[in-house]
Amino acid sequence: MVASRNNSRDERSLMIGLGLDNKDGHKRITKGENFCLVGGSEETHERMTETAIKVNEKLLSRGKKLHEISREEFIDIIHEASGK
C-alpha cells in the first residue's frame, strides 16, 4: 500500500552552498529565495550567490518552482547558470 501525499502541504526545496576555501576569517552567509549559502572566500561566495540568483531567474522564466523540477532539469539549469 502506498501512502497518499498530503496535497495541501507547502512543498519547498532549498539549494545549499558551502564554500570551504575561506582563509581570511570572514563569516559569509547569504540567504535568498530557495537558497542558503555559507562560507567560502569572497570570490567563491560571490560566485555561489550569482549562480543561485541565475537559477531562480531560469526557474521563473520556465514558470516553475524548485520543488517542481526533476534532478536532471536542476542539473541542466545549474550548468546553464554557472556557464559550464
Domain that holds residue 63: 15-82
pLDDT tens digit at each of 84 positions of the chain: 444 444 445 678 999 999 999 999 999 999 999 999 999 999 999 999 999 999 999 999 999 999 999 999 999 999 999 876
- Judge whether 2 lies within some domain: no
Q: Are strands 29-32 and 15-19 parallel, antiparallel or unpaired?
A: unpaired
Nine cell digits for residue 5: 501525499
Which residues are within 8 A (CB) of 66 and not within 5 positions of it... i.e. 6 or more apart? 12, 13, 14, 15, 34, 55, 59, 74
pTM value?
0.82
Residue 3: inside a domain, yes or no?
no
Distance CA 28, CA 65 (A): 26
- How many folded domains does the chain comprise? 1
